[in-house]
Amino acid sequence: MDYVKAFLIGGLICAVVQIFMDRTKLMPGRIMVGLVCLGAILGFAGVYQPFIDWAGCGASVPLAGFGNTLYQGVKEAVDSDGLLGLFRGGFEASAAGISGALLFGYAASLIFDPKMKN
């Protein structure tokens, strides 16, 4: 059942974004920024975390999940550290993902060479 939910919800989010992309012709970078901000807003609204608890990776793997992670990190840090938490929480919660992308990305640039476009 986990897998069915992940497939259907994850697929559905991607399908909706596809419609949005076809209609607006927005660049991929803008779409990603939009999704992360949307995820943070939905996290703030208290919607996204329950959504992840229900849909699992169908909700957490799309980039909106990253935005939600950022907001949840800030919220937890504010609860424990007050105002200083605003400056700590986002990076604390997203550290693994960001470091991973940068480190693996850098390693890949050492190993692989740019491919010619066909």
Partner 1 sequence: MTVKTKEEKYNAYVKQVTPTTNMWLNICKAFLVGGIICTLGQFITNWLKNSGLNQEDTAAWTSLALILLSVILTGLNLYPKIAKFGGAGSLVPITGFANSVVAAAIEFKKEGWVFGVGAKIFTIAGPVILYGIISSWLLGLIYWITQLF
Interface with partner 1 in residues 13-52 (CB under 8 A): 13-15, 17-22, 28-29, 31-33, 35-37, 40-41, 43-44
Candidate residues 47, 74, 80, 92; the one interacting with partner 1 per rule CB under 8 A:
74
Instruction: Answer for the pair 73, 45: CB distance below 8 angstroms, yes or no.
Output: no
104 contributes a contact to partner 1 by CB under 8 A: yes
Nearest 10 degrees: Cα torsion 32, 21, 118, 102: 0
Provide, rounded to whole angstroms, the least separation between the CB of residue 50 and partner 1. 14
Q: For residues 70-95, b (16+ Cβ closer than 10 Å) or e, as one string?
A: bbbbbbebeeeeeeebeebbbeebbe
By beta-carbon proximity to partner 1, the closer residue of 50 and 78 is 78
If binding means CB under 8 A, how many residues of this protein chain bind partner 1?
Answer: 76
Per CB under 8 A, the list member of 48, 49, 51, 60 interacting with partner 1 is 60
Quick one: tokens of 83?
């105002």
Q: How far is the CB of 56 from partner 1 (least distance, A)?
A: 5
User: How far from the centroid of its chain's Cα atoms is residue 84's Cα?
Assistant: 23
